[in-house]
Amino acid sequence: MSKAQAETTDELKERVRDRYASAARAADAASCCGSGPVEVSFGAARYTDAERQELPGGAVAASLGCGNPIMVAELEAGETVLDLGSGGGIDVILSARRVGPTGLAYGVDMTDEMLELARRNAREAGVDNVTFLKGDIEDIPLPDGSVDVIISNCVINLSVDKPAVFAEMFRVLRPGGRVGVTDVVAEDRLSPAERAERGDYVGCIAGALSIGEYTTELGDAGFVDVQVTFTHEVADGLHGAIVRATRPAV
């Protein structure tokens, strides 16, 4: 039995919380996933130079993602955006600038240290159309149908209850709303045990869904037009990926 299988969901969640609290304190962007060959695929390197120049140094230093959901989501002026697992606030700040003064960007994170860092980074960036909320992505602290777009950057793989995450995403999206996230996703050939052999849960690997699982679970939650596209390899059979989906308009 792998370490991830042996731990309870509460223990896994606390390990994730501790890891990201420590990352916030250190503002260490070397990797969200430990050491080794995975390291180079994570962090601020997924953003363009122009995007990094829009951000305070603290936001860039705390970037722990595996992609760039801002590029995926194709945000428009006036939209309301929600970032699941907003960390140091890099994607919320960039989103706030894309949606402009008539739009709004929310960030939800379960870690007090990350929320403090994100709020400080937003103040330094001079964006005021942002709101950071403490909460779990399995129980989003927003009302039904309150956002147009959901983004997330290498966080859903860390959840211990992914069906609950997808159900909550569907609930808070307005009809016709869309999902544009980046995440670590496994090839269908890898079993859960084989994923765990390649990295631990907190390291964004053992908890990764396969491409087939991702597609099925989003569909089960009610989403349509689900697309999962690999972008770069982070370990044998595991990839950074773009995930898109839509809540039906009716």
Kindly list the averaged pLDDT for each block of 10 residues, start to end, along the chain of length 250.
55 66 53 37 52 56 62 91 93 94 96 91 93 97 98 91 97 98 94 84 76 98 97 91 95
- Report how far residue 246's alpha carbon sits from residue 210's, in angstroms, rounded to the nearest whole number: 20
Backbone phi, psi, residue 167, to 5°: -65, -40
pLDDT at 214: 97
- Residues in the chain, how many? 250
Per CATH, the number for 3-246 is 3.40.50.150
Residue 37: the pLDDT is 35
Written as six digits, the tokens of 59 are 């936001």
Q: What is the dihedral of CA 151, 152, 156, 157, to 10 degrees?
A: 130
> What pLDDT was estimated at residue 35?
37
CB 165 within 8 A of CB 156: yes
At residue 67, the pLDDT reads 67
Strand partners, 230: 241
pLDDT at site 8: 74
pLDDT of residue 246: 98
